[in-house]
């Protein structure tokens, strides 16, 4: 949905530029036509000889299909008029046509401006603007009844499309809000599962956000990653508390049980719809994979691991190293930083590590901001 929205907004920006360029061209043509009208009446000749060499019979051939103008032609014998006045009438009709075109170009630009200001391709306001503008198209019935009615119906049809698009957008926004509420609730449950994790989930999500921004991801992708990463340890809900909170080192069997939590997390989120939930499922499964293929649960290598999984892997490990646990003290931040850098190309994606180094000051400030109540070394 976000990719489609971005493409539609790009199209709106392009169309806005087209409207501006067209508006400038129409203004120039209106000025030239107005000067010709003045010249035709005041000097009894054209100051732009050869520039506009129209004939009144050309007007009749264009407008003759209109019953209104046909009647006017019968009432006023235009062919018998002085050539100067014939040309003035031609120019006046041209000026009115340009004036109508100017209105619709301006109307079109206002619609694009509203779309870009709201950052929403579809909205009820846009649909309303199109409906109101469609009534002005009925004026074209005076010139060409068939063309006027067709354009009126076409604009009305597009107004219905925009209205339905706004309805779908509203549904998508509500779905996203529900996803966010569910994600926050599940993250809180996961965090409360263990007495040791503190604000680990919050810190990891903020680190992931910082890394994603540093790597140039767009705003929507960054926000989705921030939310989705809060569920990276969801699978630990199915790990016994006596293992999660065990003081001292884990046995091989206990560690093997811990290593199941990525698969558990993917299973819990399997079949849940939504872009953010889908990303959360991927992160839950992949955040312990390594780019050299020695991670778990699937031993995936660099090209097989999603970018989101590679980002959260760095964020998760850095926070685990700098946090106190029952089986270890928190590492000094410099030692943890060196460990992340040392893992570039083996445990971690080098590009993510480069982003980590570039944004480290912000990451460290975030770590201190969301520090646990328990005093951590290096804080």
pTM: 0.61
Contacts of 187 (CB under 8 A, 6+ apart): 201, 230, 231, 234
Say which of 128, 193, 236, 357 is annotated catalytic.
236
| DSSP per residue, 289-355 | --TBS--SSS--BGGGS-HHHHHHHHHHHHHHHTS-BTTBPPPPHHHHHHHHHHTBTTTB-HHHHHH
Q: Would you give per-residue pLDDT tens digits along the chain (379 residues)?
A: 456 677 777 888 888 898 889 889 888 888 888 887 777 666 554 444 444 444 445 444 544 455 555 555 554 454 455 566 666 666 777 777 777 778 778 877 887 887 788 777 777 877 887 787 778 777 766 656 777 788 788 878 888 887 888 887 787 777 777 777 777 777 777 777 665 555 888 899 999 999 999 999 988 899 999 999 998 999 988 998 888 888 888 899 999 999 999 999 999 888 777 788 899 999 999 999 999 999 999 999 988 999 999 999 999 999 999 998 777 889 999 999 999 999 999 999 999 999 999 999 999 999 999 987 644 434 3
Per-residue pLDDT reduced to its tens digit, 129-143: 778 777 877 776 665
Q: Say what the pLDDT of residue 369 is.
A: 92
Token couple for 2: 């976000």
Output phi, psi for 328, to 5 deg: -160, 160
CA distance 108 to 115: 11
Q: Say what the pLDDT of residue 340 is.
A: 97
Sign (positive or negative) of CA dihedral 111, 113, 118, 121 = positive
Contacts of 153 (CB under 8 A, 6+ apart): none
Q: Say what the pLDDT of residue 84 is.
A: 61
Whether 236 sits among the annotated catalytic residues: the reply is: yes
CA distance 73 to 216: 65
Q: How far is CA 356 from CA 141, 282, 340, in A?
A: 65, 21, 9
CA-nearest of 225, 214, 327, 334 to 283 is 225
CA distance 121 to 161: 11
Q: Give the residue ranges of DSSP H helices in the chain.
A: 2-42, 56-63, 67-75, 83-118, 124-136, 145-193, 200-214, 219-229, 241-244, 252-258, 261-268, 275-286, 307-321, 333-342, 350-358, 360-369
Contacts of 300 (CB under 8 A, 6+ apart): 286, 289, 293
The string over 195-225, giving b where at least 16 C-beta atoms fall within 10 Å of a residue's C-beta and e elsewhere, is ebbbbbbbbbbbbbbbbbbbbebeeebbbbb
Q: Say what the pLDDT of residue 101 is.
A: 73
Q: Say what the pLDDT of residue 175 is.
A: 75
Give yes or no for a contact between 331 and 186, defined as CB atoms under 8 angstroms apart: no
The string over 148-175, giving b where at least 16 C-beta atoms fall within 10 Å of a residue's C-beta and e elsewhere, is beebbeebeeebeebbebbeebeeeeeb
Per-residue pLDDT reduced to its tens digit, 257-268: 999 999 999 998
| DSSP per residue, 221-232 | HHHHHHHHHTTT
Token couple for 50: 């050869």
* N-term to C-term CA, the chain: 41
């Amino acid at each position: 949905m976000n990719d489609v929205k971005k493409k539609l907004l790009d199209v709106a920006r392009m169309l806005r530029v087209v409207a501006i360029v067209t508006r400038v061209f129409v203004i120039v043509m209106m000025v030239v036509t107005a000067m010709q009208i003045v010249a035709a009446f005041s000097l009894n000749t054209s100051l732009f000889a050869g520039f506009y060499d129209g004939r009144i019979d050309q007007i009749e051939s264009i407008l003759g299909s209109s019953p209104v103008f046909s009647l006017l032609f019968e009432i006023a014998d235009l062919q018998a008029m002085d050539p100067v006045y014939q040309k003035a009438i031609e120019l006046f009709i041209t000026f009115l046509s340009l004036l109508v075109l100017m209105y619709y170009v301006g109307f079109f630009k206002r619609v694009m401006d509203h779309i870009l200001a709201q950052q929403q391709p579809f909205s009820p306001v846009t649909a309303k603007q199109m409906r109101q503008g469609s009534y002005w198209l009925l004026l074209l019935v005076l010139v060409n009844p068939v063309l006027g009615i067709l354009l009126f119906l076409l604009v009305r049809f597009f107004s219905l499309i925009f209205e339905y698009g706004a309805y779908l957008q509203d549904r998508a926004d509500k779905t996203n809000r529900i996803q966010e509420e569910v994600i926050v609730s599940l993250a809180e449950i996961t965090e409360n599962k263990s007495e040791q994790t503190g604000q680990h989930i919050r810190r990891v999500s903020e680190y992931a956000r910082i890394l994603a921004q540093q790597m140039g991801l767009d705003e929507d992708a960054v926000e989705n990653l921030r939310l989705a990463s809060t569920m990276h340890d969801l699978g630990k809900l199915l790990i016994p508390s006596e293992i999660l909170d065990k003081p001292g080192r884990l046995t091989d069997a206990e560690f093997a049980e811990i290593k199941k939590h990525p698969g558990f997390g993917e299973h819990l989120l399997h079949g849940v719809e939504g872009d953010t939930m889908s990303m959360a499922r991927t992160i839950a499964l992949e955040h312990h994979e390594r780019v050299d293929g020695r991670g778990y649960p699937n031993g995936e290598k660099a090209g097989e691991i999603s970018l989101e999984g590679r980002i959260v892997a760095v964020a998760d490990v850095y926070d685990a190293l700098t946090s106190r646990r029952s089986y270890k003290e928190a590492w000094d931040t410099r030692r943890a930083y060196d460990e992340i850098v040392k893992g570039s190309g083996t445990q971690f994606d080098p590009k993510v590590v480069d982003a980590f180094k570039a944004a480290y000051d912000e990451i460290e400030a975030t770590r201190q901001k969301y520090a646990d109540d328990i005093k951590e070394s290096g804080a």
